[in-house]
């Protein structure tokens, strides 16, 4: 079942349509924002997030960040440390 159908089933057609419009608008704004960042020689938001998560993983591995802090920051289980 696709996302729109799930929203429609759970919240009704009008709400699903409105959420669909808002989602498309947000995606468009993020694409524009990322294009401006690229033109300025900066990383996209996703690239910055990926770098930050990689740094956090490294910090957990090196004992500079607790597993709980990593979980709070990323919402994901931290990598196993050996």
| pLDDT at residue number 16 | 87
Per-residue pLDDT of the chain (82 residues; tens, 9 = 90+): 688 788 888 889 889 899 989 999 999 999 999 999 999 999 999 999 999 999 999 999 999 999 999 999 989 988 776 5
- pTM over the 0.75 mark: no
| pLDDT at residue number 2 | 83
| Domain with 14 in it | 1-42
| pLDDT at residue number 82 | 56
* Number of compact structural domains in the chain: 2
One domain for residues 58 and 74: yes
Domain boundary (10, 25, 42) is at: 42
Cα gap 82→71, rounded to integer Å:
18
Cα gap 68→19, rounded to integer Å:
33
One domain for residues 56 and 79: yes
* Three-state DSSP class for residue 11: helix
- Token pair of 8 as six digits: 């429609």
């Amino acid at each position: 079942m696709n996302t729109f159908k799930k929203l429609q089933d759970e919240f009704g057609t009008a709400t699903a349509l409105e959420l669909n419009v808002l989602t498309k608008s947000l995606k468009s704004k993020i694409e524009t924002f990322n294009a401006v960042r690229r033109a300025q020689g900066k990383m996209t938001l996703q690239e910055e997030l990926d770098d930050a998560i990689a740094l956090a993983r490294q910090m957990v591995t090196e004992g500079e960040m607790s597993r709980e802090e990593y979980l709070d920051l990323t919402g994901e289980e931290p990598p196993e440390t050996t």
